[in-house]
Amino acid sequence: AALKKMTVPDALVMRSGKQTKIKSNQLVPGDIVLLESGDRIPADLRLFKIIDIKVQEAILTGESEPVEKNNTVLEQDKISLGDRENMTFMGTTIISGRGEGIVIATGMNTEMGEIAGMLEEGKREPTPLQKKLNIMGKKLGLLILMIVAIIVFLGCIRGIEFFDMFLIGISLAVAAVPEGLPAVVTIVLALGVQRMIKKNVIIRQLPAVETIYS
């Protein structure tokens, strides 16, 4: 689902010597894709024709500045995504320039696809804030039940009808729920986001915001 949102609907390719617009899900390795400023990359491409291409890769690498591309051969065996200057990756955007690239990977076989696959397969762990709120909720619920039970018990001892005390107990339990807690948590997280924006911080994992004031 996450990968589908990043998929470009169409791609302009060279087939049989002619420019043809096809659905991006019809791309196969070996296709030549034509790129222009403003295009979103439909697949992982090895660039071979370039005219001043700069690509925004923040969605993939976290780098806020556009990356200038070239078509030189890289000698190293293992190169980080941000240093692969002769490639563009699915989901990234061309800020300026134009060129051509050959498809080397599509769909779930792309770098973005591998990340999406890991996110879908990986079990989402509760964030520190969620763990603390869950613990607090359980303790608070238990405390409220104990207090309500004591109040109902004392009322019955004094001769008050059980049903009346039961209604009073329910009212007290509802009143004891901290309705303002979600608003407080939201405000704290919003303050954290503002601090990060002022420092030009890129948030790659949203739960990281929760740890700012911890």
DSSP 52-107: EEEEE-HHHH---SPEEP--PPP--SS--GGG-TTEE-TT-EEEEEEEEEEEEE-G
Statement to judge: residues 86 and 177 lie in one domain: no
> Taking a C-beta distance cutoff of 8 angstroms, is the pair 43, 24 a contact?
yes
Same domain, 158 and 206: yes
Kindly list the distances between the CA atom of residue 206 and the CA atoms of 156, 190, 200, 210, in Å, as whole numbers in the listed order: 50, 12, 15, 8
Confidence grade of residue 62 (pLDDT, cut at 50, 70, 90): confident
Q: What are phi and psi of 70, to 5 degrees?
A: -145, 180
Same domain, 106 and 141: no
Q: Are 113 and 136 in the same domain?
A: no
pLDDT score of 210: 65
Please state the pTM of the whole predicted model. 0.54
- What is the spatial distance between Cα 189 and Cα 129, in angstroms, rounded to a whole number? 11
Mean pLDDT (whole number) for 61-67: 83
Range of the domain at 65: 2-121
pLDDT in tens, 67-122: 899 888 887 767 877 788 899 999 899 999 999 999 999 988 888 888 777 766 65
Check whether residue 12 and residue 110 sit in a common domain: yes
Mean pLDDT of the residues in the chain: 83
The verdict on 55 and 144 lying in the same domain is no
Report the number of distinct structural domains present in the chain: 2
Q: How far is CA 171 from the centre of its chain?
A: 41
Neighbours of 17 (CB within 10 A): 5
Q: Do 83 and 174 lie in a common domain?
A: no
Residue 1 reports pLDDT greater than 60: no
Q: Between these two residues, 53 and 125, which has the higher pLDDT value?
A: 53
My answer on whether 113 and 132 are in the same domain is no
